[in-house]
């Protein structure tokens, strides 16, 4: 039995695996292209990039694969419109919009012939997205890494959203194995989005220190912090998260007004960039709840082959 494909509007990926778009500069062209070439949907994280940089990244990924390449952009960023148009200019197949809701993005995508896939956390927002023209929706549960839009677990929320819309529903949050993919598909999803597992791959643009945080993490190391975006965030415990949990926020050296609404407790873009570059003491290492189940750093192709094999074992009644 073959793992099913995933169709989002006019685009079809051979495998129902979407690689999450992780910012800042974790999910860049090398990772997205490798996932797309291996049969999944590769996403570049646009948040935190300049518009021209994002266009170059999308073009680089598209040049490296004939697979499906998209871009994830936070609605909360001030340059959301510019980044969406930059992704479209680069040739993105899909725009994934999260951390907020934008009605405008559906029209921009429709005019450009690009598939629009919002991240949703409720039936109401899923129905609204379908009405505005979404090609699919991503249901991101509380288990996910980074910014969290719901306190419900993905497998609790997913069946209700599947029932509420007719477009494909993609489950996200806490999935790191082929068995997890099977559980998500069995719950009614058309596909699964996995971010955390792909952050610790050879092609990920995260620093070696960042990836080592994933490999060495325990369940006790996964914590929730307050983000100036206005949402809670899940990260791996380090000296910075200890400060944040205690309300001891680092001083903002220079504000570039990157967010539409920012609590200004600290500069989250700065802390995410620091971690991506290797400062895992003063930087913020976002990760999902299942990060402690990651113990190696494979290539994307090795990981995709492993996920398919694990799915096949789970589908045939085996255990993992």
Pairing of strands 17-19, 115-120: unpaired
Cβ neighbours of residue 53 under 8 Å, at least 6 residues apart?
Answer: none
Written as six digits, the tokens of 165 are: 């819309």
**Beta carbons within 10 angstroms of residue 151's beta carbon:** 10
Percent of the chain with pLDDT over 90: 79
Asked if pLDDT for residue 258 goes beyond 60, the answer is yes
**Beta carbons within 10 angstroms of residue 81's beta carbon:** 15
User: Using only C-alpha atoms, what is the Rg of the chain?
Assistant: 18
The pLDDT of 196-223, averaged and rounded, is 96
Per-residue pLDDT tens digits for 12-62? 999 999 999 998 999 999 999 999 999 999 999 998 899 999 999 999 999
CA dihedral 213, 118, 155, 284 (to 10 degrees): 20
Residues 206, 222: Cα–Cα separation, whole Å: 18
pLDDT at 319: 55
Domains of the chain (ranges plus CATH)? 6-204+296-315 (3.20.20.70), 208-291 (no CATH)
Per-residue pLDDT tens digits for 216-225? 999 999 999 9
Facing residues of 18 across strands?
Answer: 41, 193
The pLDDT of 255-273, averaged and rounded, is 82
Per-residue pLDDT tens digits for 128-149? 999 999 999 999 988 888 888 7
Pairing of strands 191-194, 222-226: unpaired
Asked if pLDDT for residue 320 goes beyond 70, the answer is no
pLDDT at 259: 72
Contact 75, 101 (CB under 8 A): yes
Residues 281, 217: Cα–Cα separation, whole Å: 14
Residue 264, preceding peptide bond in cis (omega within 30° of 0): no
Written as six digits, the tokens of 218 are: 């325990």
> Cα dihedral sign for 301, 190, 146, 86?
positive
pLDDT at 50: 93
Give residue 274's pLDDT band: very low, low, confident or very high (50, 70, 90). Answer: very high
- Reduced to 3 states (helix: H, G, I; strand: E, B; else coil), residue 139 is strand
Give residue 236's pLDDT band: very low, low, confident or very high (50, 70, 90). Answer: very high
Contact 294, 197 (CB under 8 A): yes
DSSP 8-state class, residue 192: E
Facing residues of 139 across strands?
Answer: 120, 171
Residues 27, 69: Cα–Cα separation, whole Å: 12
Contact 184, 155 (CB under 8 A): yes
Residues 156, 187: Cα–Cα separation, whole Å: 9
235 backbone dihedrals φ, ψ, rounded to 5°: -145, 175
Written as six digits, the tokens of 237 are: 């415990």
Residues 311, 237: Cα–Cα separation, whole Å: 31
The pLDDT of 269-273, averaged and rounded, is 90
Residues 164-198, buried b or exposed e (16+ Cβ, 10 A)? bbebbbbbbbbbbbbbbbbbbbebbbbbbbbbbbb
* Global pTM value: 0.93
């Amino acid at each position: 039995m073959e793992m099913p494909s995933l169709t989002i509007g006019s685009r079809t990926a051979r495998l129902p695996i979407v690689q999450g778009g992780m910012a800042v500069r974790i999910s860049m062209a090398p990772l997205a292209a490798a996932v797309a070439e291996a049969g999944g949907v590769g996403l570049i994280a646009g948040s935190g990039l300049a518009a021209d940089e994002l266009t170059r990244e999308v073009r680089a990924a598209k040049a490296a694969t004939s697979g499906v390449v998209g871009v994830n952009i936070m609605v909360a960023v001030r340059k959301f419109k510019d980044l969406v148009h930059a992704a479209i200019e680069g040739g993105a197949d899909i725009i994934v919009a999260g951390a907020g809701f934008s009605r405008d993005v559906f029209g921009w995508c429709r005019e450009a012939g690009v598939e629009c896939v919002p991240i949703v956390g409720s039936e109401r927002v899923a129905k609204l997205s379908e009405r505005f023209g979404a090609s699919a929706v991503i249901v991101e549960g509380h288990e996910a890494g980074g910014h969290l839009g719901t306190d419900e677990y993905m497998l609790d929320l997913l069946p209700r959203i599947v029932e509420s819309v007719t477009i494909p529903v993609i489950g996200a949050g806490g999935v790191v194995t082929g068995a997890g993919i099977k559980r998500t598909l069995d719950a009614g999803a058309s596909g699964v989005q996995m971010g955390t597992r792909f952050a610790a791959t050879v092609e990920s643009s995260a620093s070696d220190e960042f990836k080592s945080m994933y490999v060495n993490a325990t369940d006790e190391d996964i914590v929730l912090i307050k983000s100036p975006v206005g949402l809670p965030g899940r990260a791996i415990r380090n000296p910075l998260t200890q400060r944040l949990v205690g309300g001891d926020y680092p001083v903002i050296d220079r504000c570039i007004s990157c967010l539409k609404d920012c609590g200004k407790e600290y500069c989250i873009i700065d802390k995410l960039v620091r971690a991506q570059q290797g400062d895992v003491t003063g930087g913020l290492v976002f990760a999902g709840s299942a990060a402690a189940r990651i113990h190696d750093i494979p290539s994307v192709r090795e990981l995709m082959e492993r996920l398919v094999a694990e799915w096949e074992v789970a589908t045939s009644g085996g255990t993992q």
